[in-house]
Structure 1
């Protein structure tokens, strides 16, 4: 099965969780034979205290995750995801009945991980915990936000630089659209009356709003959370966001080099056009 990973944030009454889950099993779970849920929990305090920088801290946890996935993968365990809280990191797997027992897993951790870890296994034949981790409607938007922002960073965007960020809202009734406009303005949004919008079947009344701010993940998620809650009681639906790119210095250099390379290749092609050696005259 092809992996399809999604990342989102989930708030509980006591803490905020960062969840990474393989949504590729959605619609297919539970998988026959994989009846046990295995969790491995890492206390983050000693790991953080041991590392001099946040980069080293993250790198060490990533190395553990990779080693666990390789070792348990050989034992035919399925890695479904992890939960990152302020004080702990939890890895989750589904295993078969004949998978390594808890003493064997603890022994492997003692040999490969210098810090204390808690290991727990329980029956979960219906993959109830996996379904609990699957993102809801709002969290699906957070998954999309993370993917978009990752793409912006990959293209050289300086996501910390403020710019106009546009949000698309859709309404079933024109009255609902008119009534919510002043509420949005009080919250600091600008109504973009001249901005092109899109409609959808059942939601024929669009509204585009904007706000001048950065596009860091926390910022965008908080804005989407706010608008989603506001629209829930107003006959409206949130339909996404977008912004112009603000390239970092490194991003501008990469774009310049790409354009120079493209221009050079175009000029070279004009000077030495490709010939079909098999075309007969």
Structure 2
């Protein structure tokens, strides 16, 4: 089984959940021999209180996650399926086989390993219902792709805080729906790109390309995708994706030409986004 991790955010009961899930188990779950869910929760207040900077907190949590995964995989043969991060807690989720996992030994290791508060529990979940809860729905799958694209841009030197023209590709089933959507989009501050060529298909023969002057920070992109997705659901339309030219930071501009970086961006988008993009 190949790991296939996706990150997205979900709001539940006014709480903001940052969810990382291994969707690589999606087509195989549930695994009969792993019928119990193990939860390990870390209280973040203690770590933040004892750290001098945000970077120290991140470093500590990365080390914690790695050591936890190493111990559980080697001693309990546990399967790491996801984690949830909130303002005050970080919770890791594994599926274990009771014949391999020893609660006493695990808790003894925790006490030796860390001096901050850690809580754990194991409960039956033979249907992997909690894993199903972690999996992204249709809109959240778009958030997963947003995160992949934004992180790829950051890695390549993009200053994601800089505004630029961001293009969105939409498809609709009826010509009258496209006209109605155009009016709603203009009211929301989008520009209809008449000269941009969309790609019709048999199910959605009326494409629409729009743009808006925005930054490409993850919160911004998610907000735009959310409002477009909800608008299209009302007319049985489909959201296809987004793209933009890069805005490099100063050092990156000096080192590389913009033409090269635009080619890199298009290659990244083609690789990690499931729909064809045209500018």
Q: With structure 1 as the length reference, what TM-score do the two structures score?
A: 0.88
**Match in the other structure for 1:3:** 3
**Match in the other structure for 1:265:** none
- SS of the aligned residue for 2:52 comes to coil
Deviations 1:232-257 (A, max 9, x none): 1122111100000111123224426x
Unaligned 5+ segments in structure 1 are 260-281
How much does 1:127 deviate?
0.8
**Match in the other structure for 1:20:** 20
Unaligned 5+ segments in structure 2 are 261-279
Q: With structure 2 as the length reference, what TM-score do the two structures score?
A: 0.89
Contact 1:173 1:235 in 2 (8 A): no
Q: How many residues align?
A: 257
- Residue 29 (structure 2) pairs with residue 29 (structure 1): yes
**Match in the other structure for 2:84:** 83
**Match in the other structure for 2:156:** 155
How much does 1:101 deviate?
2.7
* 1:259-270 mapped onto 2 (5 Å cutoff): none
How much does 1:100 deviate?
3.1
Q: Distance in 1 between matches of 2:181 and 2:142?
A: 21
**Match in the other structure for 2:243:** 242
**Match in the other structure for 1:49:** 49
- SS of the aligned residue for 2:256 comes to helix
**Match in the other structure for 2:120:** 119
Q: Distance in 1 between matches of 2:97 and 2:16?
A: 31
* 1:52-201 mapped onto 2 (5 Å cutoff): 52-75=52-75, 76-201=77-202
- SS of the aligned residue for 1:79 comes to strand
**CA RMSD in angstroms, aligned pairs only:** 1.3
How much does 1:216 deviate?
0.7
Indicate the structure (1 or 2) with the bigger Cα radius of gyration: 1
Contact 1:161 1:214 in 2 (8 A): yes
In the TM superposition, structure 1's runs of 4+ consecutive aligned residues that sit over 6 Å from their partners are: none
- Residue 215 (structure 2) pairs with residue 214 (structure 1): yes
Q: Distance in 2 between matches of 1:239 and 1:196?
A: 14
How much does 1:109 deviate?
1.3
- SS of the aligned residue for 1:29 comes to coil
Q: Distance in 2 between matches of 1:107 and 1:57?
A: 24
Contact 1:168 1:207 in 2 (8 A): yes
Q: Distance in 1 between matches of 2:85 and 2:65?
A: 12
Q: Distance in 2 between matches of 1:41 and 1:200?
A: 47
Q: Distance in 2 between matches of 1:11 and 1:203?
A: 31
**Match in the other structure for 1:268:** none
Q: Distance in 2 between matches of 1:174 and 1:109?
A: 61
Deviations 1:64-120 (A, max 9, x none): 000000010102111111001111100000111123332322221111111111101
